[in-house]
Amino acid sequence: MADYAADIVVANYLYRQAITLTEQSGEDQTNLTVRLDLNSTNFNFDFARSDGLDFRLAETAAGSKIYNMFIGVWDEPNKDATMWFKVPFLSANEVKTLYAYWGNPSDTGISDGDSIGLLLFDHFPGVALDGSKWTSSGPITVANSKLSMAAGSYIQAKNVPLTGTYQWMLQDAFYITDASPSVGYASGLYRFYGGDNLLGINFYGEGANDRYHNFVQSGSYVWDDGDQRGLEGSSYHELTLTYHEPTDYITQGFERRSTYPDYLDSWERKCEGNTRLTYFRIYGPNTYGSTMYHDWVMLRRYLGPYEPVFDTSNLYVQYEQVNPDAWVYDYGVDITNTIFDHTTTSGGTPTYLSDDSLINIWCSDVGAASGNVDLTIDFGAYGNNLVDDAYLHYDSDHVLHLNAASLSDEDFDLYNNTYWHGTTTSGWATIDFGSRINNVGVVRVKGVSSKLSGMVKNYKIEGSYVYTNNWEDDNWKVLDEGQFGQTDAWQSTLFANYNNYRFYRLKVVDTYGGNIAIQEWRMYNYDDSLGKRVVSRLKLKPDATNSNFIYFPKQIEFYGSNDSYNWTTLISTKNTYTPTDGAWQEHAFTNNMPYYVYRLRCIGNWNNNIGKICIAEWSMHERYIEATSHRILAGTNDNYIAIWGDVGSTFDELEFYVVNDKISFVENEKLVGTKTFTGSPTDLNVK
């Protein structure tokens, strides 16, 4: 039995809401069957299929790890539903976030009681009783997924399913066809055998008795005359019998569905004996001209008062999802975060844009609105730069005091020794992190504006546990190699590195013709959350709380880049909207390319381009499918161009890892190299 059902394509479902499931027993649970009830207060049935077959429950927001499920009741006219799901694992006291999907009219459903880990299940398909699940006595009829029995007939659970099961729940859903059953009408006769007790329960219909239970224990009868409504005719009922071994209680619940949705009755009986039963029977009724059909029967493991609990308070959707334009897509959540590297060309604290706070407002320097102001966020680098000129630095050679330590000083050298100037067109610079070893996975470099011919062209990034000054040495592991552009703008490279090296070396293979000249470098730790993003929606929020809305940018442009050097225009110059109410302004666009760095250019403000520029918050969003899914060797051939890879995605049992647009090679759990594919490769062959 599979732990999960097939993944879904989330774009085919209009609605997705998060709900939680809480484990209450304090113990890890495996392959547990959990019940979910829906009604008019926690679910809007108007937006789902009339039979509920488009409902799904998943562990991920990407539509993967879909739970196997069974729909016991989906009564759309009366806004009433009961479903069961198989939960493969729930840790002790865990509050697990799950994602419900619905709103797909073409969905054919996965409702299957045999898939949810039950001890026994039968929906009575076919034309005969399933002999692998039951034995029977007397006339039995199976037709149209319903079971009926003559008075005195019974079905008996086969293969003693109760043996060794000390906490269980039996649920039986049945119909009564006669609109006006007789006074003596009886239905729902159940008997349990084994242990010290013979347990039985009868339900009687409308009339003089109205309704009473007949409970049998060790040969003595106990009954409970009630004043509630009985087994009404032309009705649908559900009987629940549970046993909880720690308390030795048998609990019975009886619910009339649909016509009398307010009717719910139950009682419990403490057995105080060996109630570890072995098998049970369901008997046919004394019909008096009526017929009772059993719709389905299930027996499952049960945790008594410690059953997991759903919180469905977030499940109700009030308004129908309507996409007004063809280009409007379902977007993921805001992906900006203060942990990523932010820069600005005109002062202020740019991380305020991503802190989800309306108290911290980004504002530029005074007078910036007279020109252009750029703001960038780099999803390929964290904001914590690791280098510092206080660490030891080594280099292959340098001119006077322009040594490798100048790469880490952030240009604060009092004597203007702010860059590394070599004496040749190739060489290396090394930083020693000492005891503060790091798993560097991002390196950024900046050229010297007056010496761009000395900008590093082809390079290698290497790591080592020990220092050597040899050009080629087995102690140095190549982590990344590639080419930087001839510019004084910051350029980045991201590579997967899970190893903590003490020494890192930038090896300059060659330059653009002059002796090595590099203004600065920065290094950042590697993490799987770093990587390219396919942003296709930008949102900006003016600050209306402090009358700063007049400093909102009058025009904007938006760009994407993978090297902070070559930029692709995503939003051409356009006017923003009048920011009088402080509402979010949304700018959606078509973008199918992933980028590390995104740049917002602000041009002027709503104060006649006088003064500063202020933005309360920004958010960036990927189309939902881009944000949450990837394909590995999709389609009928092995086209490399069809491979999408998240960081950490692997080829089964092989040492290859896809990291954005590179293949990384791993040996003995250490990254030994990467390969960037150029041109248009069509095949990836692995031996």
Of 35-44, 206-215, 272-281, the range with the lowest mean pLDDT is 206-215
Q: What is the CATH number of the domain that holds 39?
A: 2.60.40
Q: Are residues 262 and 142 in the same domain?
A: yes
522: pLDDT confidence band, cut at 50, 70 and 90?
very high
Residue 538 inside a domain? The answer is yes
pLDDT in tens, 143-179: 988 999 988 899 999 988 888 888 999 999 988 776 6
User: Exposure string (b/e) for 422-441, b if CB count within 10 Å is 16 or more?
Assistant: beebbbbbbbebeeebbbbb
Question: Is residue 368 in some structural domain?
Answer: yes
* Same domain? 350 vs 453: no
Q: Is the pLDDT of residue 362 over 60?
A: yes
Check residues 382 and 339 and name the one with the higher pLDDT: 339
* The domain boundary residue, chosen from 525, 554, 588: 525
* 161 & 282 share domain: yes
The residue range of the domain holding 538 is 340-382+531-626
Domain of 499: which CATH number?
2.60.120.260
φ, ψ for residue 663 (rounded to 5)?
-100, 125
Q: Which pLDDT belongs to residue 479?
A: 93
Same-domain pairing of 188 and 214: yes
Within a domain: 605: yes
Q: What's residue 185's pLDDT?
A: 52
Domain-embedded: residue 277: yes
Tell whether 148 and 284 lie within a shared domain.
yes
- The overall average pLDDT reported for the chain is 83
Collapsed DSSP state (helix, strand, coil) of residue 115? helix
Give the mean pLDDT of 407-425. 89
Residue type, 503: F
Q: Which amino acid, residue 138?
A: G
SS3 627: helix
Q: For residues 627-632, give the mean pLDDT.
A: 46
Same domain, 113 and 146: no
- Structurally, the chain folds into a number of domains equal to 5
DSSP 302-328: --GGG--EEE-TT----S-----STT-
- Asked if residue 685 is part of any domain, the answer here is no
CA distance 58 to 636: 27
Calpha distance 235→56 (Å, rounded): 28
pTM of the model: 0.50
Longest dimension (CA), the chain: 110
- Tell me: the pLDDT tens digits for 435-472? 988 899 999 999 999 999 999 999 999 999 999 999 99
Beta carbons of 364 and 614 less than 8 angstroms apart = yes
**What's the CA gap between 338 and 349, in Å, rounded?**
11
Closest to 457 in 3D by CA, of 513, 505, 407: 513
Query: In the numeric block, which tokens belong to residue 312?
Result: 């469905």
Please indicate, yes or no, whether residues 351 and 231 belong to a single structural domain of this protein. no
Tokens of 200: 């039985």
Report residue 511 CA to chain centroid gap. Answer: 45
Mean pLDDT of 216-238: 54
pLDDT of residue 45: 95
Residues 622 and 666 in one domain: no
CA distance 659 to 562: 14
Residue-wise pLDDT tens digits, 483-493:
999 999 888 88
Say which residue, 266 or 96, is predicted with more confidence: 96
Same domain, 467 and 575: no
At 153, which amino acid appears? S
Last residue of a domain, one of 61, 88, 117: 117
Decide which of 501, 525, 549 is a domain's last residue: 525
The C-alpha R_g of the chain, in whole angstroms, comes to 34
Pairwise CA distance, residues 480 & 470, whole Å: 18
pLDDT surpasses 80 at 653: no
The secondary structure of 571-608 as a DSSP string is EEEEE----SS---EEEE------BSEEEEEEEEETTT
Residue 169 lies in a domain: yes
pLDDT in tens, 84-96: 999 999 999 999 9
CATH of the domain at 283: 2.60.120.200
pLDDT at 165: 86
Q: How far apart are CA 568 and CA 268, in angstroms?
A: 70
Q: Is residue 129 included in any domain, yes or no?
A: yes
C-alpha–C-alpha distance, residues 667 and 662, integer Å: 16
Same domain, 287 and 417: no
- On whether residue 320 sits in a domain, the answer given is no
Residue that wins the pLDDT comparison between 462 and 667:
462
Residues 672 and 610 in one domain: no
Same domain, 594 and 482: no
